[in-house]
Amino acid sequence: MVFFEKHGVEGKDFFDFFPLKNYSFPLHFHRAYEIIYVNNGQLYVSIDQKEYLLKENDMVFIFTNQMHEFKTIDCSDITIILFSPELIGDFFMNFKSVIPDDNVLHSESVPFSKLNSVYSQKSFIYGVCAELINQKSFIPVQQSAQAKVFYKMLLYVEENYSEDCTLKDVAKHLQYDYPYLSKLFVRQMNMTFTDYLNQYRISQACYMLKNSQQTVGEVAAKCGYNNFRTFHRNFRKITGKAPREYREIE
Domain span including residue 57: 3-140
Say whether both 130 and 33 belong to one domain: yes
Is pLDDT at 45 greater than 60 in this prediction?
Answer: yes
- Per-residue model confidence as pLDDT tens digits over 168-208: 999 999 999 999 999 999 988 878 999 999 988 998 898 88
Single-letter amino acid, residue 171:
A
Structural domain count of the chain: 2
State the chain's mean pLDDT as an integer.
89
User: Which of helix, strand or coil describes residue 243?
Assistant: helix
Q: Same domain for 65 and 159? A: no
Cα–Cα distances in Å, from 140 out to 13, 137, 235, 243? 26, 10, 40, 43
- pLDDT band, residue 214 (cuts 50/70/90): very high
**Do 82 and 173 fall within a single domain?**
no
110 and 208 part of one domain: no
pLDDT at 10 over 60: no
DSSP for 70-136, please give it.
EEEEEEEEEEEEEE-GGGGHHHHHHHTTEEES--EEE-S---GGG--SHHHHHHHHHHHHHHHHHH-
User: Quick one: 179 and 110 in the same domain?
Assistant: no
Q: Judge if 105 and 159 occupy the same domain.
A: no
pLDDT at 38: 97
Whether the full predicted model's pTM is greater than 0.75, yes or no, is: no
Distance from chain centroid for Cα 185: 19
Do 114 and 23 sit in the same domain of this protein?
yes
Residues 132 and 150 placed together within one structural domain of the fold? no
7 and 129 in a single domain? The answer is yes
The domain spanning residue 21 has which CATH number?
Answer: 2.60.120.810
What is the pLDDT at residue 131? 96
The predicted pLDDT at position 4 comes to 47
Residues 149 and 135 in one domain: no
Segment 139-146 shows an average pLDDT of 79
Predicted confidence at residue 11, as pLDDT, reads: 58
| Rounded Cα–Cα distance for residues 9 and 32 (Å) | 7
- 52 and 82 both lie in a single domain: yes
Residues 128 and 157 occupy one common structural domain: no
Give me the pLDDT at residue 112, please: 92
Residue 46 has pLDDT above 90, yes or no: yes
